[in-house]
């Protein structure tokens, strides 16, 4: 249903763009981007749905997450969103530490139309930079009977 609403709004915006002046086009694109971002934010799990504690930064792409898992099986979408304007050169720096007692986990990144990248799937400490694509970009955790802890910190790299 959400996809249908977004698609309908997209069609309306495209039709509007063909008959508007430059100022009106900018306003329509801005509103369209706001709708897309709102829809993208609905994908991220709410704080009360997460095992751990998340602190959002200046937007839903950055922040910190700390969790103690006890035999966790499932998925948590931790950070990210969907945006027409985000991406195209925006880079995130992520730092993660984990200790694993039992089970398995992966921290993954899904960005744009690129294949999903596994950022971390073993205990230890890792750091990497990720370039966002336009569209949807999410960092999430999958666990299978996972007992252990994860600390994740994501910040935007300023050029």
Span 110-134, pLDDT tens digits: 887 788 899 999 889 999 998 888 7
Task: Give the confidence band of 1 by pLDDT, cuts at 50, 70, 90.
Answer: very low
SS3 84: coil
Contacts of 147 (CB under 8 A, 6+ apart): 69, 70, 71, 72, 100, 101, 102, 103
DSSP label at residue 36: H
- Closest listed residue to residue 98, CA positions, set 55, 51, 152: 152
Model pLDDT, residue 31: 53
Q: How does the average pLDDT of the chain come out, rounded?
A: 79
């Amino acid at each position: 249903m959400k996809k249908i609403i977004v698609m309908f709004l997209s069609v309306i915006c495209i039709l509007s763009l063909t008959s508007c002046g430059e100022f009106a086009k900018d306003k329509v694109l801005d509103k369209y981007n706001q709708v897309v971002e709102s829809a993208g934010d609905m994908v991220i799990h709410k704080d009360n749905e997460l095992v751990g504690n998340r602190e959002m930064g200046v937007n839903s792409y950055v922040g910190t997450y700390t969790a103690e898992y006890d035999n966790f099986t499932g998925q948590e979408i931790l950070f990210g969103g969907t945006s027409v304007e985000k991406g195209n050169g925006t880079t995130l720096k992520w730092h993660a530490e984990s200790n694993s007692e039992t089970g398995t986990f992966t921290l993954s990144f899904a960005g744009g139309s690129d294949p999903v990248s596994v950022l971390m799937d073993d205990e230890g400490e890792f750091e990497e930079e990720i370039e966002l694509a336009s569209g949807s970009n999410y960092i999430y955790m999958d666990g299978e009977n996972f007992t252990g802890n994860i600390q994740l910190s994501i910040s935007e790299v300023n050029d």
